[in-house]
Amino acid sequence: CYDSKGELHEFGSQWKTADCFECSCSREGINCCTIYSTPVGYDKEKCVSIFNEETCTYEVVEKNDHSKTCPVHEMVG
């Protein structure tokens, strides 16, 4: 299997990409999915979700004070 960067991967192999996807190669082709969940159940008027590309995670914090986290009640992904 050749990935989007043109790198060759063996059948049965798995890898993580720099943009937070976990991929696998089979005889049917490449399958990739995100390795993070997206917060959707939080107070969107008071809070904002911020994606950390290094850890592939979201943090939900108050818009006016990013040092304060907000409760999240639902995630998708």
1 CB-contact burial (10 Å; exposed 0-12 / middle 13-18 / buried 19+): middle
Can you give the pLDDT at residue 4?
Answer: 87
Q: How far apart are CA 69 and CA 60, in angstroms?
A: 6
Question: Taking CA 57 as the corner, what is the angle to CA 71 and CA 3, rounded to the nearest 5 degrees?
Answer: 150
Domains and CATH numbers, the chain: 1-35 (2.10.70.10), 38-76 (2.20.25.590)
- pTM of the entire predicted model: 0.71
pLDDT in tens, 3-56: 988 999 999 999 999 899 999 999 999 999 999 999 999 999 999 999 999 999
Q: Which of 24, 20, 68, 23 minimizes the C-alpha distance to 11?
A: 24
pLDDT of residue 57: 95
DSSP sequence for 2-23: B-TTS-B--TT-EEE-TTSEEE
